[in-house]
């Protein structure tokens, strides 16, 4: 019996030294990833997707491809959420700074 090839990934940053680990999990796994599909823009413009990946073969390497796609999805979702969080926290900070620097906007524009 051949040993299953299981990829793993690890993320850490200065603010999160403990980091996060990613494993593919039990599956089922496939080479069609949730986050690696064609852009909606192309489909909405009447385009067709003729570039889908080939299906995973039932071999050790084929299964590795499928597991890699799962792990890639997990990383993509994790990083996208991180970017969203950073963006919203930056927006909050910007708002706070604006209020402290300029005072609360009372909505009046006819000061002159």
Partner 1 sequence: MTVDLDKYAKPGKSYYIALGLEGSANKLGVGIIKHKLGQLSDSNRAEVLANIRDTYVSPPGEGFLPRDTARHHRNWVVRLIKKALSVAGVKGTDLDCICFTQGPGMGAPLQSVVIAARTLSQLWNLPLVGVNHCVGHIEMGREITRSENPVVLYVSGGNTQVIAYSKQRYRIFGETLDIAVGNCLDRFARTLRIPNDPAPGYNIEQMAKKGKHYVPLPYTVKGMDLSMSGILANIESLAADMFSSKGGKKAVDEETGELITPEDLCFSLQETLFSMLVEITERALAHVQSNQVLIVGGVGSNERLQEMMGLMVRDRKNGSVYSTDERFCIDNGIMIAHAGLLGYRMGQITPLDNTVCTQRFRTDEVFVEWRDD
Interface residues with partner 1 (CB under 8 A)?
A: 36, 38-39, 41-42, 45-47, 51-54
Phi, psi of 74 (to 5 degrees): -60, -40
Residue 12 to residues 16, 89, 108: CA-CA distances in angstroms?
A: 6, 20, 47
Name which of 45 and 100 has its Cβ closer to partner 1: 45
Residue number with CB closer to partner 1 (46 or 103): 46
Question: Shortest gap between Cβ of 29 and partner 1 (angstroms)?
Answer: 17
Helix (H, G, I), strand (E, B) or coil at 10: strand
Between 14 and 46, whose beta carbon lies closer to partner 1?
A: 46
- What is the nearest approach in angstroms of partner 1 to the Cβ of residue 25? 23
Query: Minimum Å distance from CB 66 to partner 1?
Result: 14
User: Given the complex with partner 1, which of 38 and 99 has the nearer CB atom?
Assistant: 38
State the maximum Cα–Cα separation within the chain, in Å, rounded to a whole number: 83
**Residue 49, Cα to own-chain centre: how many angstroms?**
21
Nearest-approach distance from CB 103 to partner 1, in angstroms: 43
Residue 24's alpha-carbon distances to 42, 67, 82, 106, in angstroms, are 29, 6, 20, 52
């Amino acid at each position: 019996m051949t040993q299953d090839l299981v990829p793993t990934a690890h993320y850490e940053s200065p603010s999160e030294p403990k980091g996060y680990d990613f494993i593919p999990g039990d599956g089922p796994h496939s080479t069609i990833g949730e986050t690696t599909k064609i852009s909606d823009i192309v489909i909405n413009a009447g385009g067709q997707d003729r570039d889908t990946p080939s299906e995973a073969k039932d071999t050790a390497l084929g299964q590795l491809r499928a597991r890699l796609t799962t792990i890639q999805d997990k990383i993509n979702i994790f990083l996208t959420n991180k970017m969203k969080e950073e963006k919203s926290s930056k927006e909050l900070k910007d708002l706070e700074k604006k209020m402290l620097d300029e005072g609360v906007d009372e909505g009046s524009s006819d000061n002159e």
